[in-house]
Amino acid sequence: MKDFKKKHLLLVVLASLLFMGWGKDAHLIINGRTGLSFNGEMSYFLGWVDSLAAHASDADYRKSWDPTEDIKHYIDIDNYPSFVANGYIIQDIDSLKMIHGAWFVENQGILPWAILWTMDSIKAALGRGDFHRAMLHAADLGHYVGDASMPLHITRNYNGQYTGQSGVHSRFESSMISRFKNEILFEGDSIEYIENKRDYVFSLLYENYKYVDSVLKSDSLAKAITGSTSNSAYYAAMWSYAKPFTVRLMKRASNSLAELLYTVWVDAGRPLPLTAISSELAEVKGFGLRQNYPNPFNPTTVIKYIIEMRGLVSLKIYDLSGREVSELINKEMEEGEYTEKFNGSGLPSGVYFYQLETAGKREVRKMVLIK
């Protein structure tokens, strides 16, 4: 832990309150939009999305009572000579401690290993069928991945103390984000199974470290333009410079959470609750409307459905008031499995329902559009 955090427990608590990851808003966005990157195999996990968002900041709250939590949220990676010289550090924490000593390693923070250990916890929970505990660990995983994607959590100059920019940490990750969170828009991305998880996690850190100077520059430019670091003009100027890379960092964090979760689920043997398996089997047998993917979505999503006999088929979208907002299908169709793409670019964010009707049968599902 950092020296000033070592001196007294009170300072640990105060520091925890000051430097709470990306800030609650950003962590909610990162976790809440990870479903945009889920692949077709992960339809069950779409049911986790709301809970991943609701528990996105649990790890921050634990800092106030768990003395082992704080060091999981950062790594002052530029305090390692090998990183300064070569751009990387030893990935094995025990080997790193043998070289630098346990105190030094913990003093710099253990963020990358917190990510890897949390993946192990998810795998163990899935293996024993504890899907609720796995979800809570997954929310923590999203938090740590989010911190690894916040440049000031991976540098010794975490609060601008070495560049005369004291307070930049909270100005960037909390105050700025809270003002402009509605402008943080991104779609999901494809995901793949990760063969080497340690390489993946450390590469994420190395890539995101490149934006440390960008964060500091956004602060110094905004201050130079406005003569302040606290008024609305300052934050508007900061955001105008920081928006492109901030959205990029948050999108990658959200996508990385999906990719890591998919990987650990595969490693656990792709387990699903019996109720989810029964539901999938029932859908394959005959008439059925499947959960759209991705969900939440922005602005496009895919809807799959099964028709068990030839007939007139209707597939419509409704808003919460019951008003029809789109008709995707209204025609005679043969028996079979079909896919329709829905584009919600002309609709506001919100909850919508899609209804499939044919041969006297009807099924409705819910989807969420987030812009």
Both 8 and 119 in a single domain?
Answer: yes
Q: Pick the last residue of a domain from 220, 248, 267.
A: 267
Q: Pick the last residue of a domain from 235, 267, 299.
A: 267
Both 102 and 161 in a single domain?
Answer: yes
- Chain centroid to Cα 344, Å, comes to 22
Residues 16, 30: Cα–Cα separation, whole Å? 20
Both 81 and 228 in a single domain?
Answer: yes
Both 279 and 181 in a single domain?
Answer: no
The domain tally of the chain equals 2
For 86-131, the DSSP string reads HS---S-HHHHHHHH-HHHHHHH--HHHHHHHHHHHHHHHHHTT-H
Both 68 and 106 in a single domain?
Answer: yes
Q: In a structure prediction context, what are the per-residue pLDDT tens digits for the chain, which is 371 residues long?
A: 444 444 443 444 444 444 455 568 999 999 999 998 998 888 889 889 989 999 999 999 999 999 999 999 999 999 999 999 999 999 999 999 999 999 999 999 999 999 999 999 999 999 999 999 999 999 999 999 999 999 999 999 999 999 999 999 999 999 999 999 999 988 889 999 999 999 999 999 999 999 999 999 999 999 999 999 999 999 999 999 999 999 999 999 999 999 999 999 999 999 988 666 555 545 445 678 888 888 888 899 999 999 888 899 999 999 877 789 999 999 999 988 899 999 999 999 888 999 999 887 888 888 999 87
Both 10 and 150 in a single domain?
Answer: yes
Structure pTM?
0.75
Both 317 and 254 in a single domain?
Answer: no
CATH number at residue 355: 2.60.40.1930
Both 297 and 242 in a single domain?
Answer: no
Residues 167, 131: Cα–Cα separation, whole Å? 40
Both 253 and 364 in a single domain?
Answer: no
Both 283 and 230 in a single domain?
Answer: no
- How many CA atoms within 13 Å lie on the side-chain side of 48? 30
Both 324 and 205 in a single domain?
Answer: no
CATH number at residue 155: 1.10.575.10
- Angle at which helices 111-127 and 197-209 cross, to 10°: 140
Q: Residue 26's domain spans which residues? A: 3-267
